[in-house]
Structure 1
Amino acid sequence: MLYVNLFLGGCCCFRFDPVPNSVCVDGKRLRQSAMPVDPVSKVLDDDNLLIEILLLIGYPTTLICASLVCKRWFCHASDPAFLCRFRKLHPPCLLGVYFKTRANRSRFVPMLPQPPENNAVISRASSSLDAHKLILDECNGIIFTKTFNNCDEEPRSIHIVLNPLCPARGMVIVPPFPCYGRQDGYFYKFCQLLFEEEGDGLSYLCVRGELSNDGRKSTVYVYMLQDGVWCFHTSATTQLPCRPQILNPLLVDNKIYMTATQSEILVLDLTASSFSTFQVPQGLVIGYKRTMLSRAYDNSGVYLIHLNGLQLCIWLRTGDNWLLVDTIYLREMYAKLRMPDHTNWVWINQVGVNAEFVFLRMGRCLVYVGIKCRKLCKVYEMTSEDRWLGRVHPCMMIWPPTFHALKDGPAGFVFWPLGDVIVFCFCVVALEAYMKHL
């Protein structure tokens, strides 16, 4: 009853005069009998208005709760067109970061402050680590780890923990990378696990790069995981004008982007098994830990993030053209942190999807830079026990949300524990949020 009273009390302030045009006598309005208008029904029975209210929720976790009210609300909340609008208004937030400071050890540090709505998912993200797991990569809540000192499993096996934010999906074990012998005159360059989402699942690629001893020829081998076995997929060789720089391989729309030279990016088309190159923006020089690539959220292009001193430049390539999206000058933002001056020792550690944020290593500190919000804050400072600060792996709120399966019930309602509480609490919050935006 408490939630009912809160709900009805909150709605009272939204009531309108049911007889706005009644005649006045001596400055007083005549009372006429009329059926009162129920403001709750007037709002919640209007599908268009209800959708606008749902858009104001702000958190995927609360959106899932709203979908439990009834089948009608579930259909609105899970509709792909609605979710597309929701994401534009409320992009998935950064929950925290995984990184390594000692051999075979990873840790999780939450990004603070966080709203109470994210407490549960942050707890699950943190609990996915143990003393023998090393984070290798993370994508949309899916954590790739490497397990050591476990006699029951292959020592070099890579564990894919499918969504610690959604434990029901379980865990998949990926076998060790395929064995291979290097070509004469070549040396090993890199071997990396790449993946992309396909519907409700993932496809896994093992990409191995080799470079000729003179640095003028590069060969890339690609293996695909099929039924738990690595199968050779394709390979390609290309000539390079000089020894390439190190740039993070990036898989976007069946193409792998890599570095070629200080002014060119190499693209391996997995469909055609062929290489191509394109120039970076004029005047830009690719540098080690100064340049990184990031994919656009909808795979419509590739971002290039370049650090020049304390200036960040973000470029977007769509088609054959580069567009300078943003330029951020960090010196003034950095001065507000009141940290020891390490501005001469700064490099890029990691970038986010859609170039939404950048993590910088500044001396012994890990620093977060929000591109759109122009926010710079210290995330972590190395202690005397830390040996190094490894590559950062951001942990993002999963998207799209994982909705519960509908359960049978009369009038389209979902029978769920504490369902009445969810209904009334949500209605109060939703209506308040809606009125604030009027």
Structure 2
Amino acid sequence: MDGSGLMMDPTPRILADRRWFAWMNRRQSSSTMHPLEDEDLLQEILLRLPPQPSSLPRASLVCTRWHRILSDPKFPHRFRKHHQKPPLLGFFLVVPLGNRTFTPILDRPDRIPATRFALPQGHDLPQDQWHFMGCRHGLTVLINAWQRQIVMWNPLTGQLRRVTFPQSIRYKHEIFCHATVLCADPEDGHVHGDCFLSPFKLVMVSVRDRETCACVYDSTSGVWGNILSIVTMSTNIFIRHNILVENAIYFHGGEILAFDLEKQSLGVIDMPSDVDLRDFGTSQLLRMEDGGLGLVVLSFLTIQLWQRKSDCGVVRWVLLQKTIELEDHLVPRRMGHDCIIVMVLIAGYDEEKILIVLSTTGGNFMLQVGSMKTRNICEGNLISDETFYPYTNFYTTV
């Protein structure tokens, strides 16, 4: 009864009390719930597993619930986005105009067998006709000049995609061809890895009689763009690893060829005037930590670092103060009582991790340019004639 003497209906009060008790029960039950029983929290925990190849397959064996979460098609995307940088799985070792093999770099249980990185066999994929061009964004590129085809291959999934040469490029013996790929996914914050189904750009460069031509294939339109050409002094612009710095691809051999993807321009960059880069294996372009274009120059057991910098509107090479003395990082190989001085050549480069591969008479090593830490890749007694192409990607199969 209220102040006016009218009898009040108790039903609303009873319903309100019941809702309050139900809310309290849910709150108490959720507060006492084990963290792994909370679906959202469990997903956040699984996202933070290490990016090494064994992490997700092993976690998926814990129980059917974990397997269901890890098998969700959206989970690999979130996993890559959380970790940002894929791990280095190993190196493709390529002999000039010869075979290619894969050398895993991770220890067990993260070591993926080399057999997983064998190019699928087929009547139209003869091993001796497909030449390995390099890796980027989880994709590898091979070229068959006789068939006038470029193949993009995801080694972890076995997926292949073919692109035919532009009609204006006709292969002949005197033409040198090269191709490289980069992911062109427009998604904000896109993390590379499993980019096979993403939009991509394929850059093809050819040289004939010192006339260098370049052309870009856009997977979105499915057509090749206009061919650009420039006169170069050397036909050896494909000897070393090409690199991607901001919006440009740089090819390096006897000179540097710069192909700006945004401006659609082709140019040649002069080398430092007091550096002789005619010897194979003594220099390598690299992406500096600040994102600029750099150059590693090897002189016996000393590495010099150069960088392109702008000074009053003029861009030029600047020799950095930092030098790397390889005697401090590579132990000379001993034979009996005699110490054999290590001979060194640059055999590979990873543009993402900014590391170079050094081939020596004592084995092959990775050198992190920033930290100057070294790691052995494989033992050896001779300088290797193989080129090392690093392969990085996320392994998210469960």
Query: What's the counterpart of residue 162 of structure 1?
Result: 153
- Residue 100 of structure 1 is aligned with which of 95, 101, 123? 95
How far residue 165 of structure 1 moved from its aligned partner, in angstroms, is: 0.8
Q: Secondary structure at the match of 1:162?
A: strand
The Cα RMSD (Å) is: 5.0
Q: Deviations over 1:301-358 (max 9, x none)?
A: 4343322221234556588696959643222332265478353x43212111235322
Number of residue pairs matched? 335
Q: Secondary structure at the match of 1:331?
A: helix
Whole-angstrom CA distance in 1 between matches of 2:180 and 2:365: 26
Q: How does 1:104-119 map to 2 (within 5 A)?
A: 104-111=98-105, 114-119=107-112
Q: Secondary structure at the match of 2:112?
A: helix
Whether 1:290 and 2:287 are equivalent positions in the alignment is no
Q: Secondary structure at the match of 1:389?
A: coil
Query: What's the counterpart of residue 389 of structure 2?
Result: 393
Query: What's the counterpart of residue 17 of structure 2?
Result: none
Q: How does 1:3-152 map to 2 (within 5 A)?
A: 41-42=34-35, 45=38, 51=44, 54-63=47-56, 69-71=67-69, 77-78=75-76, 83-87=80-84, 91-100=86-95, 104-111=98-105, 114-119=107-112, 122-126=114-118, 132-133=127-128, 134-139=130-135, 140-145=137-142
* TM-score, with length taken from structure 1: 0.57
Query: What's the counterpart of residue 191 of structure 1?
Result: 177
Query: What's the counterpart of residue 172 of structure 1?
Result: 161
- Residue 310 of structure 1 is aligned with which of 301, 308, 328? 301
Structure 1 residues 177 and 366, CA gap change in structure 2 (3 angstroms): farther
Q: Deviations over 1:346-397 (max 9, x none)?
A: 32121112353222233595443344471242525379xx9x723222333x
Query: What's the counterpart of residue 14 of structure 2?
Result: none
Q: Secondary structure at the match of 1:195?
A: strand
1:316/1:325 contact within 8 Å kept: no
Q: Secondary structure at the match of 1:83?
A: helix
Amino acid at match of 1:332: D
Structure 1 residues 110 and 394, CA gap change in structure 2 (3 angstroms): same
How far residue 221 of structure 1 moved from its aligned partner, in angstroms, is: 1.4
Query: What's the counterpart of residue 375 of structure 1?
Result: 374
Query: What's the counterpart of residue 331 of structure 1?
Result: 327
Whole-angstrom CA distance in 2 between matches of 1:87 and 1:195: 20
Structure 1 residues 277 and 136, CA gap change in structure 2 (3 angstroms): closer
1:255/1:267 contact within 8 Å kept: yes
2:100/2:132 contact within 8 Å kept: no
Amino acid at match of 1:360: L
* Greater relative contact order, per chain length (Cα 8 Å cut-off, separation 6+): 1
Structure 1 residues 125 and 314, CA gap change in structure 2 (3 angstroms): farther
- What percentage of aligned pairs have identical amino acids? 18
1:294/1:355 contact within 8 Å kept: no
Amino acid at match of 1:191: C
How far residue 77 of structure 1 moved from its aligned partner, in angstroms, is: 4.8
How far residue 193 of structure 1 moved from its aligned partner, in angstroms, is: 1.1
How far residue 233 of structure 1 moved from its aligned partner, in angstroms, is: 1.9
1:66/1:74 contact within 8 Å kept: no
How far residue 202 of structure 1 moved from its aligned partner, in angstroms, is: 3.0
1:236/1:273 contact within 8 Å kept: no
